[in-house]
Amino acid sequence: MVDAQARAAGNRHATAVTIGTHLFAHPWPVQILKVYVDGAGGHEIAGLALSGVKFKRPLTRAAFVDDVTEVIATAFGAARLEEVDLWCEVPLDVGKGVVVSGDYAKPAQRTVFTVTVLRGETPPSYRTRIVAGRGVYWDRTWQAQALHR
């Protein structure tokens, strides 16, 4: 699948493509920007970067949490991962001509949501944890502006 190849990164590229193939088979309302998988020996950890803007349909906080829960469960179902780190980012207005890569780079995006889930934690338990705000980061301004009540 083209999207899976184009959006895969990390030192376990083939695993990232496998996860991406599973993820991109489903039309998520939140765009999946990148699927990273890094590993050493038999250990593999995935990173999933989502866009926090331009959802394909309006999302409530509950719908966002449901989608995040399912995205993580799909990644675990696609590969023998130890952990999935998921974050949602929004672009920053850095201005024309500002350096956004290299040693003098200015950040070009801001993280507005993060969660880490270990294999063995069930989707209902990490969904409950996300809803309760335990072990997650929510940017409250983004949440209020981007997610409908």
Dump pLDDT digits (tens) for 72-117: 999 999 999 999 999 999 987 766 766 556 676 667 788 999 999 9
Residue 47 CA to chain centroid, in angstroms? 7
In 24-119, which ranges are continuous DSSP H helix? 61-78
Contact 81, 120 (CB under 8 A): no
Measured CA angle at 107 (ends 102, 112), to 5 deg: 145
For residue 26, is it left (φ>0), alpha (ψ between -120 and 50) or beta? beta
Contact 52, 4 (CB under 8 A): no
Contact 94, 71 (CB under 8 A): no
Mean pLDDT of 37-45: 94
Measured CA angle at 68 (ends 55, 143), to 5 deg: 55
Q: What is the mean pLDDT of the chain?
A: 91
